[in-house]
Amino acid sequence: MSLLALFTRPFLDLLRGEARCVGRARDLLRLGAGLVVGWWIYVPVHELLHALVCMAAGGEVSRLEIDPLYGGALLARWIPWVAAGGEYAGRLSGFDTGGSDLVYLATDLGPFALALFPGVWALRRAARAGRPALFGLALPFALAPLLSLTGDAYEIGSILVTRVPSWAGEAARELLRGDDVFRVGEAVAAAGGGAAAWSGFALAAVVGTLWAFATYALGGWLATRLGERPLEAMRRPDGEAEPAEPEEP
């Protein structure tokens, strides 16, 4: 897969899928309804997977915040470490990796297994079937890596970058690691970060971005193996198809 295909494939799947599913106003309403339901389901599932994978990898979880809008109050009745509320829709705010970056990475990566499957596969399947509600439902699962660019994706990049000697010191790790790129940026500025701190911050963002698009590409590869190839371009009004693009490996 070329670099251009890596960065354009998610958007092509999104736009071509929408073109296949939406032909009437009611189709757009169905897509929107499916998206709302999909997001409402995805948020708590995503956060619960963070916690469950952390524990499965050997870490400990003490607090998982989920907004009541996404069932936080109900889940808090059943699960002792779930709390209703917080600044975000959901956030694993209390966990201990025992100092292991492998556990830390596993905790961050866990929920994105849903992008690998059924995410991209379901997105393409719903689009080919012309099912706008199911297409909308699949969107948060398939596009989760891209939606996390300012959150989990940055944090994944920051974990990897702070393993590099230039940023491996305790102070740099404390400064650069985090699940909110804007807050980390503010912290770097408040600390009077020099070239080393800002370059580490920028590199973590780049690595996180590459990871996000590569994760979608891997989901696309799995979808292709399971019979759901990349969505083809719709025919133009003149009857000619758009130029073919490189296939996924």
pLDDT digits 0-9 by tens, 36-50:
999 999 999 999 999
User: What 3-state DSSP class applies to 183?
Assistant: helix
Query: What does pTM read for this prediction?
Result: 0.92
- What the block records as the tokens of 108 is 């961050």
Q: Is residue 92 part of a domain?
A: yes
Specify the number of domains making up the chain: 1
Q: Is residue 240 part of a domain?
A: no
Range of the domain at 113: 3-225
How far apart (Å, rounded) are the C-alpha atoms in residues 32 and 27? 9
Q: Is residue 239 part of a domain?
A: no
Q: Is residue 129 part of a domain?
A: yes
Q: What is the mean pLDDT of the chain?
A: 94
Q: Is residue 188 part of a domain?
A: yes
Question: pLDDT band for position 238 (50/70/90)?
Answer: low
The pLDDT of residue 240: 53
User: What 3-state DSSP class applies to 162?
Assistant: coil
Omega within 30 of 0 (cis) for the link into 118: yes
**120-174 pLDDT tens trace:** 999 999 999 999 999 999 999 999 999 999 999 999 999 999 999 999 999 999 9
**175-210 pLDDT tens trace:** 999 999 999 999 999 998 899 999 999 999 999 999
Q: Is residue 40 part of a domain?
A: yes
Q: Is residue 238 part of a domain?
A: no
Residues listed for the chain: 249
CB atoms within 10 A of CB 48: 19
Q: Is residue 205 part of a domain?
A: yes
- Only one residue has tokens 């699960």, namely 79
Cα dist from 176 to 157, 163, 185, 239, 244, whole Å: 10, 11, 8, 52, 42
